[in-house]
Amino acid sequence: MINLTQHPATWSNIVFIAPIIAAFYYELTYLGIIGLIGIATSSLYHYYTERKFYFADHAVSIILLVWSIWLVYRGGFEPKLLFYILLAFAALAAYFLNTEEKGKYEIRHSYWHLFISVVGVLSIFIFVF
């Protein structure tokens, strides 16, 4: 069994609760459901370190990222500066997702979870307000 304190990429999935709560609160039900699926696939992938969950984890992550950018576009938020900040967060998240420097993957992938959660919450707020 994996010691969760030594695997932050597993327990850092908890940050995904914020955008899921926001999605359900603002009646973006499909987004909330996909977020729940994202927590499940990410937890399975990181906890069991099984390659069979790799595709599901990454597919759901990409869907959530694209959906977040779409929400910002549909929100018609002015000025667009916040949209560019959101894209910068997405770029940082992509960097941390793809960084597998020896011994630093777990913590950097945890940053990915944090950044993508911030992107999710910001995109929901931009869409709603």
pTM value?
A: 0.80
- Give the integer Cα–Cα distance in Å for 129 and 1: 44
Do 116 and 18 contact (CB within 8 A), yes or no? no
Q: How far apart are CA 31 and CA 120, in angstroms?
A: 10
The pLDDT score that the predictor gives to residue 100 is 63
At 34-43, the pLDDT tens digits run 999 999 998 8
In whole numbers, what is the pLDDT of the chain averaged over residues?
A: 82
Q: What is the mean pLDDT of residues 86-98?
A: 75
Share of the chain above pLDDT 70, in %: 84
CA pseudo-torsion sign 48, 49, 55, 58? positive
User: Pick from 119, 120, 113: which is nearest to 8 by CA?
Assistant: 113
Rounded mean pLDDT, 83-93? 77
